[in-house]
Structure 1
Amino acid sequence: MSSSTLGYLARRAAQKERVRILYRRALKNTLDWAVHRHLFYCDADELRAKFDANKHVEDLDTIDRLINEAEASYEKWQHPDPYIVPWAPAGSKFTRNPAPPQGVEIVYNYGKEESD
């Protein structure tokens, strides 16, 4: 293979990865905006149609331009208060029951007294 072919393949691989990451981020952002699943499914279908509309573009510069436009649109429409799974970091239940402070001993004898 020539170096131009390798350069082309490397650039296409990078573009495919950028599109994949952008699609996943946009799909998760769509879920933040849709309150109910039936609304999400309609929005997800529209998003997929937008991505599929440019699936057969072959010009590398055009692909880069489309990706940049899509990333700008994603940044513009990003949800101001995204949904966070409650037990994930920054979620409402994350570290709800934190570890006790240093030096505090917890005895789990469940009411059983030690015999003297």
Structure 2
Amino acid sequence: MEKKEEAKRCELGREIEKQKRRLIEREREREMSSAVSTTAYLARRAAQKERVRILYRRALKDTLNWAADDLREKFEANKHVSDLDTIDRLIDNAEATYNNFRHPDPYIVFVIVEICSIFSSGAFASFWHNSAVLKAYTIFLSAVPWAPGGSKFCRNPTPPAGVIFY
């Protein structure tokens, strides 16, 4: 009788050990799956934040100064939304609205890259890299839409030199 009881105790002990191992394995699996889901969640949130930042900057550039506050209020109204699908839907709606109201022929910012690459080697390298002339020239061309490459370049050609309109 004692041997049977002892055998039952041993068998119960083995069952308890098996259950403990299963629980430990399940806990490890949960931790691993939660780590993966947490990583996926954080990656998706980072992508959403980047999309919102880019959208806000584009919209702010196209908005007149007096409407910048209204634009900021629209972005701030949905600042505390935490559901990922809702955020994606809001971003898609905002991008569609932005594309709908965007100017059909926006100003093109023109920056000289060729000059920088041409004069960045050889004897001119130190002059051009340290020169305020190149910086001023680049800023001038990037700020003026009627410069070559800008969206207003040759849109309204100037009249001939001998013709004067009053």
Q: What range is the shorter-chain TM-score in? A: 0.5 to 0.7
| Matching of residue 92 in structure 1 with residue 146 in structure 2 | yes
Cα RMSD (Å) of the superposition?
Answer: 2.3
Q: Displacement of 1:87 after TM fit? A: 1.6
Question: Partner of 1:105 in structure 2?
Answer: none
Q: Displacement of 1:83 after TM fit? A: 3.5
Q: Following the alignment from structure 1 to structure 2, what is the Cα–Cα distance between the partners of residues 26 and 16?
A: 15
Q: Displacement of 1:16 after TM fit? A: 0.1
Retained in 2: the 8 A contact 1:88–1:94? no
Give the number of the structure whose alpha-carbon radius of gyration is greater: 2
The DSSP-based 3-state class of the residue aligned with 1:79 is: coil
Where does structure 1 differ by over 2 angstroms across 4 or more consecutive aligned residues?
80-86, 88-91
Q: Displacement of 1:73 after TM fit? A: 0.2
Gaps of 5+ in 2: 1-33, 110-139, 150-166
The DSSP-based 3-state class of the residue aligned with 2:145 is: coil
Q: TM-score, with normalisation over the residues of structure 2?
A: 0.47
Greater RCO structure (CA 8 Å; 6+ sep): 1
Q: Displacement of 1:84 after TM fit? A: 4.4
Over 3 Å counting, the alpha-carbon distance change for 1:43 and 1:8 in structure 2 is: same
Identity among equivalent positions (%) equals: 64
Q: Per residue, is there more helix in 1 or in 2?
A: 2
- Deviations for 1:40-68, whole angstroms, at most 9, x for unmatched residues? 1x300000000000000000000000000
Question: Partner of 1:45 in structure 2?
Answer: 69
Q: In the comparison of the two structures, how many residue pairs are matched?
A: 86
The DSSP-based 3-state class of the residue aligned with 2:90 is: helix
1:7 corresponds to which of 20, 40, 50: 40
Q: Displacement of 1:92 after TM fit? A: 1.3
